[in-house]
Amino acid sequence: MCGIAGYISKYKDLSQHPKILENMSGTLKNRGPDEDGIFLHKNIALIHRRLAVVDIENGKQPMIFARGQETYVIVYNGELYNTHELKTDLLLKGFEFKTESDTEVLLKAYACYKEKCAEKLNGIFAFAVYELHSNKLFLCRDRIGVKPLFYSEAMGEFIFGSQIKTILASGEVKPVVGEDGLYEIFFLGPARTPGNGIFRGIEELLPGEYGVFEDGKFTKEKYYRIKAQPHTEKEKETVEHTRFLLRDSIERQLISHVPLCTFLSGGLDSSIITQTASDYYKLAGKGKLNTYSVEYRDNAKYFQRSLFQPNADTDYINLMIDSADTVHHEVILENSRLCDALSDAAVARDLPGMADVDSSLLLFCKEVKKNFSVALSGECADELFGGYPWYHNKDILFEECFPWSRSQDIRRSILKNGILERGEEYVRSKYEETVGLAEKLPSDTKLSSRMREMFMLNFYWFMQCLLDRKDRMSMECGLEVRVPFCDYRVVEYAYNMPWELKALGGREKGIVRKAFEGILPEEICYRKKSPYPKTHNPLYMKLVSERVKNILNKKNALTELLSKSGIEDIISNPESIPSPWYGQLMRAPQILAYIVQLDAWFEHFGVEIDC
């Protein structure tokens, strides 16, 4: 895993502007702490920062390949999981290979297939290839959107990077947020509209999209869409197919030339990954698998059961340690550090995020990185296989709204009267755009049709928000985290699986549970879903409340938007909030933490408002 960037200028000889390139590269240092490289040719620069994981000696970038009259240069962030198949195909076409790196395979796949190479890739990636003779730049992002790729195009300048801050570091784009950006932050955040970079002039390639910059113009093409297809398999075949796809995805993602571990929460998804990885390691003679979990100081003392979090994780983690026979490490986070890291997490994400759900992951990844450079995590199973409560609550299911943020009232309450008056209308338009993406079959029932819409809502919003979080927090620590449930084959299969099979036995992720019966302990297989662990310690609420009170005493662009009385009411009456700000976990302490992150974001990036 790495960080990439590039700059094509119509006017500048970039060799005369080393400071700009140095600044852009510097923003990617944490993503690629092992090596850095640059390709510089007149008005184009390609920048790479490397986290060495596969073929450590020979995978250096930018990588260059000459074929015929053309010379190709690649910078690449990601991992291919079908490298062997792709390499075999290219060998049959006469290509030769000097390294074991997937970078060389990807570069030569582009040389062979050009834009069509994207359709042949299974992996998580964002990459750029520059054709020296043709003066053409190709950008591509993976099907699911696991790896980020932002860009800006204006006045003959084209800049791209793995992070928003990389583009801002060019000096060509200012940290200006318009009205739509504020709607994103206050009414949709921490999610954001796919492709929206929040800052004016910054966009992001969509999942499954590529772009070409040529003759001063940037054109984009969608090479991958989730399509509706009939599901023809019976229950037994569906169970077996689900098991095969998940095991195959996990095993493909265990390839690494540096130490690898798994995250283990004791939930179904992380347990499937851990058990599969442990079995694979033993068969391969690699010894015991290492696993990691996160907990908070004194959480057992203050834990409160809820609809979203019915039980604590500890007993289930211990059960899985015994079942998979792993070497386990528990990371215990202090509430004061959790609060302090809110600002660091906002800077790492380039935006206010999921509050302490972000900052805890940042601290957790820092601890994991002390011993490992690669981890596997169970993200996205809930979005794909109907794991969240809103899939199963008929009172919510058919509501025409984002189910994780059904009411805008709490968001409206923290803003001054008369501010961002079209907020609810803006959210409604984004909802309607998204459900319109759901391809359906004529045979779909009302329930089947709605489940396809729900799939798209979760895929393009909730899932992308979690993938953003996982990428930015882990890569800020130089830790590569792989997400096997995001294999596009799993996504396609889940999209077309009938609801009565997906929710087999009337349970969330019922088909996945059935697929791993007899492989996982029964208590794990049929444990009620529990979300990412959060702190229940009242000390945390006290700490974030104090931070927010100090923020409200400032006079700046942010506080000009905020309602002091509305926020003070949250501090005084935390239990009065009718529903979470976002998802399952963002209640009063997290809403206040979001304001802390907003303040850090405004200050660090020098955010200007223009609307």
Backbone phi, then psi, for 48, in 5-degree steps?
-140, 135
DSSP letter assigned to residue 16: G
Distance (Å, rounded) from C-alpha 376 to C-alpha 531?
A: 17
First to last CA, the chain: 38
User: Distances from the Cα of 414 to the Cαs of 442, 515, 563, 575, in angstroms?
Assistant: 44, 45, 5, 16
**CA nearest 362: which of 468, 253, 204, 256?**
468
CB 336 within 8 Å of CB 299 = no
Strand pairing class (260-263; 203-204)? unpaired
Distance (Å, rounded) from C-alpha 205 to C-alpha 225?
A: 14
User: Distances from the Cα of 440 to the Cαs of 227, 234, 311, 443, 491, in angstroms?
Assistant: 8, 20, 37, 8, 15
Which residues is 401 bridged to in the sheet?
none
Which tokens go with 420? 């961002």
3-state SS track over 406-459: CCCHHHHHCECCCCCCCHHHHHHHHHHHHHCCCCCCCCCCHHHHHHHHHHHHHH
CB 551 within 8 Å of CB 602 = no
Sign of the torsion angle spanned by Cα atoms 417, 605, 179, 150: negative
Helix, strand or coil, per DSSP, at residue 194: coil
- Strands (DSSP E) found in 62-193: 63-67, 70-80, 123-131, 136-141, 150-154, 157-161, 176-177
| Residue 2 designated active-site | yes
Helix, strand or coil, per DSSP, at residue 36: strand
**CA nearest 249: which of 277, 288, 228, 271?**
277
264 HSE (CA, 13 A, CB side): 33
**CA nearest 466: which of 144, 177, 10?**
144
**CA nearest 200: which of 164, 170, 169?**
164
Distance (Å, rounded) from C-alpha 13 to C-alpha 550?
A: 46
Q: Which of 2, 140, 261, 525 is catalytic?
A: 2
Catalytic residues: 2
